[in-house]
Structure 1
Amino acid sequence: MSTAVSPDAFVLPSSALRGLGTRPFGVYVHVPFCATRCGYCDFNTYTAGELGTAASPASWLEGLRRELDLAAGMLGSPPAADTVFVGGGTPSLLGAEGLAAVLDAVRRSFGLAEGAEVTTESNPESTSPEFFAGLRDAGYTRVSLGMQSAAPHVLRILDRVHTPGRPVAAAREARAAGFEHVNLDLIYGTPGERQEDLRDSLDAVLATGVDHVSAYALIVEDGTALARRVRKGELPAPDDDVLAARYEQLDAALSSAGLHWYEVSNWAASEQARCRHNLGYWLGGDWWGAGPGAHSHVGGVRWWNVKHPARYASVLADGEVPVAGHEVLTDADRHLERVMLELRLAEGLPLTALDSGGVREARAAAAEGLLTGDGLAEGRAVLTDRGRLLADAVVRRLVS
């Protein structure tokens, strides 16, 4: 297991900095603000009512600038960012001007590599044609929109406040503003969702012409409003068989439309449409996560920031990095994570990444129809369609 270390002792060892710049390097920025709280969400987010006067977008942005400057100093000669991803929360609540200021802060501290991918998540209700035009002018290259479903009753269960047609309109506005790369997020398996509801959602997504779709099975996270409703018996828990059927429905529809899976929960129209920032995570790259609660990884060291925006701003005002804790990954940790993440990719995992026991299990899994025979012949463990449904179980076998 990895060893957690006191944040007071947080120093990046020289071993972590070795090779920095030879691996993909990204910057993640966490925007912790939301207009309302969705019942299924357990992300580090806060509404205005929850924060009161303790923190604001202005104090957060000032803290962000300070953290990025400290980050550049800690990394020595940091590489320019290959990718930037602004997530949340609801980044679009900052408006195009606020998001431009975020990207300016990244440019000032790290710089952007030529051809950098720059993504922001956005809530369809807080976007407009003018918003997307402002993002393009600021230098953003990619937009990810939260749709979740086109069915009103599903959106109500999820506590989503956007109108069913707004994500489709927002995606079209983003494309009209010049965004070649637009993603729509879907959630499947919500209690009460029918097969035809998902079909209608997929029809709506495909009608927009977006080149990327992310689709996630609903997970009932402890501590959320949805978990409380399930615990009280007001809603049934998601059914594994239904989730599998919905996934197969999604994959068939998206594949038929020319969007092919490249990671278990992600489909793209081309290699250029794949999210390079997320590929950096999945392929063992480095990234600095800035903002309250953000996680970072450089050279086998992982750390995470304090969660509350007021505490985040206060620590940075004192000239300190806002680290709440960190861990140095052991060889076993890094091996497990490599298998777990790379196996989820369409290209699969090189068999050379497995020990002799793992290779034996890979051959057994192929015999059971969980890994492709063609992949094994080429020296790679590649999930079959059935294997994607059981990816976590396959991982456990390959590392046992």
Structure 2
Amino acid sequence: MDEALLRSLTPQVLGVLVRRGADFAAAEDAVQDALVEALRAWPADPPRDPKGWLVTVAWRKFLDAARADAARRRREDRVEEEPPPGPVPATDDTLQLYFRCAHPSLTPSSAVALTLRAVGGLTTRQIAQAYLVPEATMAQRISRAKRTVSGVRFDRPGDVATVLRVLYLVFNEGYSGQVDLAAEAIRLTRQLAAAIDHPEVAGLLALMLLHHARRASRTASDGSLVPLAAQDRSRWDTTAIAEGIGILQVALSRDRLGEFQAQAAVAALHADARSAEETDWVQIVEWYDELVRLTDSPVVRLNRAVAVGEADGARAGLAALAGLDDTLPRHTAVAAYLHERAGDPATAARLYAEAARQAPNLAERDHLTRQAARLNARR
């Protein structure tokens, strides 16, 4: 069974049902039922036209459900009866589905889950495993999301920024569970980049590729985190780096700078350096200045403080950090790093220990704890 083929056909089949008049939530349920049927039937009897087979079965599932429910029976009057057999039009509704799933009325977590289900073709169980939550919890989240968007019309203008934000959230979910969400986000973003000509879409794809290229070097054999400066750069994926930089260069040449392009430019400067010592921190600070202008994000300002500390010295970094809210995530860890670079190991050790207590995950907590222990051992 080719699961990649099923995932690629899912948004196309869903789009066909919605164009025929099916409500989004009911259509998504019918498509999922058809996918289950395909998993059962295809190994023994693979269809010559997989998309046509899925459309036919999903449409029948939808009509069966409509007839079985009084509320849906009223909707049945508005939809066509089963169309005659024949080829399915090649219209691709993937882009509309991105916009539908990333509707602003949804919470970010619900939008991510719905995108993975409706566009990514993942099952509820797979999404739940990726999020490390019970399947029932994820099913409720997806059901609420579908109810929220069920009345949204397809002809409403889409919000590219919302779609990109959802895809970025998917990417940042990481690599836990049966499904590699980072790789899944790259796959979905490639689809979006093929469907829409927008420099920020290209910028996000470049950013993902450049970050993902360093994946193999981010953890040691024992699972511990490896900071960027200590990573084995020979393990970086040079093919992904070259592709990401190429995509970014084309996007930047259009002179419509956005935050994902600027973030990708920072990642490209890291990827382009042959060693940590050769990193062009001055140019990285300049890109962070652009990001501050574009977003005015406190998190961007926090990352800029680190870059300033590398470009102009730890004291300058601490000065840039001084004006930021100390409750920001990872603020204490950044302060610890800059104090260590400034020659104050006692303060750095105390801050590393405090940052470890605030860490959002076990791997980061262990890393920060080891940093505190390393400095304390020297005293």
**Is the pair's TM-score, using the shorter chain for normalization, greater than 0.5?**
no
Question: Which structure's relative contact order is higher, taking Cα pairs within 8 Å and 6+ residues apart?
Answer: 1
How does the TM-score come out when normalised to structure 2? 0.28
How does the TM-score come out when normalised to structure 1? 0.27
Q: Which has the higher helix share?
A: 2
Structure with greater Cα Rg? 2
